Amino acid sequence: MYCDMNSKRKTFIGTKLCLCAILLIATMAITVTAAADAGKSIQSFKFEEEFSIRKALAMLGSAYQKNIVPTPQVDGSLAFRGLSNVTFEDAMDAILGSNFKYEQVGNLIRVYTKDEYKKIMEDPERMEYKVFTLYYVTAAEAQNLIQPLLSGAGAIQVTSPAEKGISSGAGGSGGAGGIAGGSAGGSSGGSAGGSAMSSNGGGDTLALHDTVVIYDYPENIEAVRELLDILDVRPKQVLIEATILSALLNEGMELGVDWNLAAGVGITGVAGLKDGAITKGTPIETGGFAGTESGNGLRLGITTGDVRVFVTALESITDTTVLATPKIMTVNKQEGSVLIGRNLGYRSSTSISTGGVATEGEVKFLQTGTQLVFRPYIGNDGYIRMEIYPKDSSAELNADGVPTEQTVEMKTNVIVKDGETIIIGGLFRNVVTTTRSQVPLLGDLPYVGGLFRGTSDSNQREEVIVLLTTRIIDPPSGAEGHESAEDARRKAEGAKDELQSISRTKMAEGAYEKAAKCYVEGDIEGARQQLKISLKLRPAYLEAMRLRDRIDAEAAPTAAEIDAGMVIETADGKDDPAWSKK
């Protein structure tokens, strides 16, 4: 008996040793730590020395539950013994290194050698077409940005560019990104026959959005799509509220309006510019706007107050006339312009042919008055850089019919905060008023009437002041724009359904609910009153109409009730003295 027990114990110990040896051999081959539970995103691995890449990929597929399919050429040994707390992508990058590549096709992850992957990626059969529609970026601008993203075999085609928009022609073409027109102290503003607001409307024979067609590999097309998603967005806009004033310069105001007298208006910015202070190509020096420096040059300033307060303060100093109050919505970095003036017509030239026949030249027009051209640059911090070109000009024809123009103009850049007002002053003009007087009847006599007539000229000096209030308009989404239109329509109709807590629609619905409650409780008269209110507020309210018809049907008398009512009515009528007289 003892011997049998000893034999069983030896057998048990031998079996145990055998199992331990098997586990030890398996551990020497490969050990996956306890963190390598299937399906987890973070895993840790340990490998034996010179472990095969194909075996490591198989182990990764099992641990992360991925279908990894390497090509037959994918082989080699790992140069490391373990990975700790890595994601699937990190593990794949570490195992494959720089000699292998992989891509996911559906539910499969295919692993290639570097040469195989390059050959597959450059396969012309993979190339495809993609059409992108642009809404805010021009096709020409997009082409310059897309070209570096394409492969050597890729191609891009864009629609033809449209003509430039309405040209302002304020003194010729400015530099890149600049405002049309010469700088202060430069040319007087374009050729004599030029029009500051010409009607050269831009256009395109293809009345569609700008389009870009790409022919390339899918990964490059995807990179182009991501780029256009960032670039082709609705730009910001700025609302410019301009107020153009004319202030009469009385005695003692030869140098312009003294801004120190404008009580209640805080103005800061650029100081008044003395005569000769503006030199072509030289930036304007900055300082305090409301300074006491004398000079009759141009002046620029900024105020955060209300424009109406400024105008009221100005009227307390001198006679002020509001010439115009235009409002212009301008897209970021696009030019806007305002012109208040007149066209002075003249003959360009007169030529005499060899036969002595005089040929009159064509009629041209010189545009004069107050002109304002600006270009906003909207920042993301609530500030706007305004490039401004104000100009005030007057002209007259000399004895030879040639126009002579007098111009005061400037060009500057100002940074203002959203909601602030830019004040431009120092644009002086002389207004000559001719008054004709005569003796009645005698002044109209021929030959001698001139003795009884007379004319007198009065000269008044005015200062033109331009106020520009800037307001950034953030781009609304399409849904928000539609909702705004609906809100405006409801306001116009008086049915402010979603704009106020109490609206006609909600009041009608509330009255209908009260009517239904009264009907259930048996208060028919109360139900009728509430239905009357509901249908008055909303005449086409179908539920209220149905409940009203139901109440009317239930309250309708039967035939017997109608006969009984007629008998009673007849009897009552016989007792009436008026009936007996009949």
Neighbour tally for 499: CB within 10 Å? 12
Task: Tell me which residue of 497, 581, 569 sits closest to 537, measured CA to CA.
Answer: 497
Q: How far apart are CA 108 and CA 102, in angstroms?
A: 10
Asked whether 328 and 240 are in contact (CB, 8 A), the reply is: yes
Collect all residues with Cβ–Cβ distance below 8 Å to 410 and sequence separation of at least 6.
Answer: 184, 278, 298, 300, 388, 389, 390, 391, 424
Which CATH code for domain 125-162+204-231? 3.30.1370.120
Asked whether 11 and 22 are in contact (CB, 8 A), the reply is: no
Q: How far apart are CA 399 and CA 401, in angstroms?
A: 6
Task: Tell me which residue of 164, 169, 168 sits closest to 203, measured CA to CA.
Answer: 164
Which residue spans within 33-183 are E strands per DSSP? 43-47, 67-70, 82-86, 100-105, 108-113, 128-134, 155-158
Q: How far apart are CA 338 and CA 439, in angstroms?
A: 44
Domains of the chain by residue range: 1-28, 33-121, 125-162+204-231, 237-349+360-431+460-473, 498-559
Tokens standing for residue 338: 């305002």
Measure the N-to-C terminal CA separation of the chain; round to a whole number of Å: 143
Tokens standing for residue 580: 């007996």
Tally of helices (H runs) and strands (E runs) in the chain:
13, 23
Which residues partner with 247 through β-bridges? 320, 463
Q: Write the CA distances from 335 to 107, 237, 331, 542, integer angstroms.
A: 53, 12, 8, 53
Element (H, E) at 456: strand 453-473
Q: What is the pTM of this model?
A: 0.54
Q: How far apart are CA 538 and CA 533, in angstroms?
A: 9
Residue with tokens 């586990």: 23
Asked whether 273 and 284 are in contact (CB, 8 A), the reply is: yes
Alpha carbon 158 to its chain centroid, in Å, reads 24
Q: Write the CA distances from 392 to 189, 395, 409, integer angstroms.
A: 10, 11, 6
Element (H, E) at 5: helix 2-29
Task: Tell me which residue of 249, 576, 232 sits closest to 429, measured CA to CA.
Answer: 249
CB environment 280-299: b (16+ within 10 A), e (fewer): eeeebeeeebbeeeebbbbb
**β-pairing, 67-70 with 108-113?**
parallel
Task: For Cα atoms 195, 197, 202, give the angle at the middle one, nearest 5 degrees.
Answer: 110
Q: How far apart are CA 115 and CA 30, in angstroms?
A: 30
Q: How far apart are CA 277 and CA 577, in angstroms?
A: 109
Tokens standing for residue 118: 């390059």
Q: How far apart are CA 320 and CA 307, in angstroms?
A: 14
| Length of the chain, in residues | 582
Per-residue pLDDT of the chain (582 residues; tens, 9 = 90+): 444 444 444 444 444 544 444 444 444 333 443 344 545 678 888 888 878 888 888 888 888 888 998 988 888 888 888 888 888 888 888 888 888 888 888 888 989 988 888 888 888 888 899 999 999 888 989 999 999 999 888 899 998 877 665 555 444 333 334 454 443 333 333 333 344 444 444 555 556 788 999 999 998 999 999 999 999 988 889 998 888 888 888 777 766 676 655 544 555 554 444 434 444 333 333 333 333 333 445 566 676 667 777 777 777 777 888 888 888 888 899 998 888 888 888 887 766 666 666 677 788 888 888 888 999 999 888 899 999 988 888 888 887 778 888 888 888 888 888 888 888 887 787 777 777 788 888 778 888 877 888 887 777 788 888 888 888 987 654 434 444 554 545 444 443 443 343 456 778 888 888 999 898 888 988 899 889 888 887 777 888 888 888 888 887 665 555 555 544 444 444 444 444 444
Q: Kindly state the DSSP code that residue 317 receives in the 8-state scheme.
A: T
- Among left, alpha and beta (phi > 0; psi -120 to 50; other), residue 562 is alpha
Reply yes or no on domain 33-121 having CATH 2.60.40.1180: no
Residue with tokens 């000769």: 276
